């Protein structure tokens, strides 16, 4: 994690670099266009049809305000997105500007495939200083967040009322949280369960580590926690597995691609706060609420603002200025905020956030992030190379644990072997 002192040093270096470029002229001739002969940049993102519609509106707005630039936009689903980027990177042809995920930033940034955005003109003055380090690697800024999300416990108040279970206020220890899940399961009559296994979620584990002041990864790309830490974590749900407190893995698999929570099978779910709209659509619930995750230290909830996505540019783009102007527009323009609301998370830029009207579901998410401000700490640095693979294996091995195929000890052994092999491969 980058300290405030290191962050300020990074900013100073970035400013000095930009000043040096300005003093001697750009390192490469700028390729600019005009209204009569605009340059065209390629922009790609992942998402569904709703995000595509919103993004195309934002692109049209940008082009109307910047007639010297045309944006050629395209999108795909999340899995297909990264396959395409890998193919393009191997051939040296990444798009000029890309929507990006934190899990893949180090993979591409350390291979010098992404542009250092501190060398171009992008306004980050309205960003929380605890958030920006998530896009930085070794003093270079490879990604700038478009929006934020924070981890939370979702619950359905109507179901709790029907069961006669009190709503949580978010001030709870893990034992209190587990007791609450047990009460829900006991009163659910085999049809309503407490939640899915919270220990199978990588980011919930990461937050638990932060609550204990343990970093998930070291600065040199190694694991920052021990196998015993992982065993302790997975053992926390041992007394809940196989009980109505947690929905079974078999049922979870049957309900996919919907989640048990979205399918009205559980009362609660732990995940990112910007999933609210999706859960409401899936479940048909009139209202859902979110509260902070449990912690055994009331002063340290381990929470942070995670970029729900970032904007990056190809290191080989021929149109650095145009790409930078498009990124700046997408992260700062208030009208863009009005287009997206919280569909991609809460706008990270204060300028964009203040210029956006939040109502209904969007307001719930924004209000939640305001309510946890005093607990927020610096966002973690970009995860290690190959993190996407490790996160997937964490989920898969946890699933095997819930199916009864593995014990906690063998599950921890299996994940650590995969992690250590991956780290050696990328050393």
Residue 219's pLDDT band (boundaries 50, 70, 90)?
Answer: confident
Question: Cα dihedral sign for 222, 226, 227, 230?
Answer: negative
CA dist., res. 361 & res. 351, Å (int) = 21
User: Model-level pTM greater than 0.85?
Assistant: no
Statement: residue 405 has pLDDT above 50:
yes
- Top pLDDT among 31 and 42 is at 42
Q: pLDDT value at position 103?
A: 87
Closest CA to 398 of 414, 411, 417: 411
Statement: residue 162 has pLDDT above 90:
yes
Question: Cα dihedral sign for 121, 125, 126, 127?
Answer: positive
Closest CA to 154 of 284, 243, 275: 275
Q: pLDDT value at position 31?
A: 66
Statement: residue 213 has pLDDT above 90:
yes
Residue 302's pLDDT band (boundaries 50, 70, 90)?
Answer: very high
Mean pLDDT of 278-283: 89
Strands (E) in 129-235, as ranges, are: 136-137, 140-141, 144-149, 151-155
Statement: residue 27 has pLDDT above 80:
no
Mean pLDDT of 370-381: 89
Q: pLDDT value at position 371?
A: 95
CA dist., res. 328 & res. 330, Å (int) = 6
| Strand pairing class (151-155; 289-291) | antiparallel
Q: pLDDT value at position 378?
A: 85
Mean pLDDT of 121-125: 97
CA dist., res. 422 & res. 303, Å (int) = 27
Contact 198, 270 (CB under 8 A): yes
Mean pLDDT of 214-234: 94
Mean pLDDT of 265-269: 98
Burial 229-265 (b: 16+ CB within 10 A, else e): bbbbbbebbeebbeebbbbbbeebeebeeebbbbbbb
Mean pLDDT of 310-316: 97
Statement: residue 172 has pLDDT above 80:
yes
Q: pLDDT value at position 26?
A: 40
Q: pLDDT value at position 35?
A: 81
Q: pLDDT value at position 358?
A: 95
Statement: residue 10 has pLDDT above 70:
no
Statement: residue 28 has pLDDT above 50:
no
Tokens of 427: 């050393």
Tokens of 386: 């190959």
Mean pLDDT of 323-336: 98
Mean pLDDT of 143-166: 97
Q: pLDDT value at position 72?
A: 98
Statement: residue 238 has pLDDT above 80:
yes
120 DSSP assignment: S
Question: Cα dihedral sign for 48, 49, 50, 53?
Answer: positive
Q: pLDDT value at position 257?
A: 85
Q: pLDDT value at position 4?
A: 33
Mean pLDDT of 321-347: 96
Closest CA to 327 of 37, 69, 108: 69
Over residues 42-63, the pLDDT tens digits come to 999 998 888 999 999 999 999 9
Alpha helix ranges (H) inside 119-201: 157-163, 174-187
Closest CA to 401 of 191, 266, 246: 246
Statement: residue 415 has pLDDT above 50:
yes
- Top pLDDT among 10 and 370 is at 370
The residue assigned the tokens 């055994």 is 296
Q: Chain-wide mean pLDDT for the chain?
A: 90
Over residues 90-105, the pLDDT tens digits come to 998 999 999 999 989 9
């Amino acid at each position: 994690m980058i300290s405030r002192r290191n962050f300020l040093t990074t900013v100073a270096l970035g400013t000095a670099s930009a000043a040096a470029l300005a003093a001697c002229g750009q390192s490469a001739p700028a390729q600019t266009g005009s209204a009569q002969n605009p340059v065209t940049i390629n922009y790609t993102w992942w998402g569904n049809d709703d995000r595509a519609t919103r993004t195309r509106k934002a692109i049209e707005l940008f082009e109307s305000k910047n007639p010297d630039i045309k944006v050629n936009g395209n999108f795909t689903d999340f899995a297909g997105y990264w396959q395409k980027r890998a193919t393009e990177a191997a051939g040296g042809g990444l798009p000029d500007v890309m929507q990006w995920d934190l899990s893949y930033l180090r993979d591409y940034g350390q291979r010098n495939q992404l542009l250092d955005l501190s060398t171009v003109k992008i306004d980050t003055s309205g960003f929380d200083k605890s958030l920006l380090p998530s896009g930085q690697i070794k003093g270079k800024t490879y990604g700038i967040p478009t929006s934020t999300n924070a981890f939370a416990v979702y619950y359905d108040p109507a179901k709790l009322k029907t069961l006669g279970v009190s709503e949580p206020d978010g001030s709870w220890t893990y034992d209190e949280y587990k007791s609450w899940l047990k009460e829900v399961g006991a009163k659910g009559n085999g049809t309503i369960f407490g939640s899915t296994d919270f220990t199978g979620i990588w980011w919930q584990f990461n937050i638990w580590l932060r609550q204990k002041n343990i970093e998930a990864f070291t600065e040199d790309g190694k694991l920052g926690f021990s196998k015993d830490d992982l065993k302790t974590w997975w053992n926390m749900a041992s007394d809940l597995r196989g009980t109505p407190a947690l929905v079974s893995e078999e049922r979870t698999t049957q309900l996919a691609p919907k989640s048990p929570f979205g399918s009205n099978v559980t009362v609660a779910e732990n995940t990112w706060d910007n999933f609210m709209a999706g859960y409401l659509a899936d479940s048909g619930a009139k209202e859902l609420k979110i509260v902070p995750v449990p912690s055994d230290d009331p002063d340290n909830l381990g929470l942070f603002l995670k970029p729900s996505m970032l904007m990056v540019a190809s290191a080989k783009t021929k149109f650095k200025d145009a790409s930078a102007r498009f990124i700046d527009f997408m992260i700062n323009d208030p009208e863009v905020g009005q287009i997206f609301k919280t569909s991609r998370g809460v706008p990270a830029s204060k300028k964009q956030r203040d210029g956006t009207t939040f109502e209904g579901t969007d307001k719930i998410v924004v209000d939640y992030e305001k309510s946890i401000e005093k607990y927020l700490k610096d966002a973690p640095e970009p995860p290690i190379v190959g993190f996407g693979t490790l996160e997937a294996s964490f989920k898969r091995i946890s699933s095997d644990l819930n199916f009864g195929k593995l014990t906690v000890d063998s599950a921890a052994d299996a994940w650590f072997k995969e992690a250590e092999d991956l780290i050696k491969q990328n050393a």
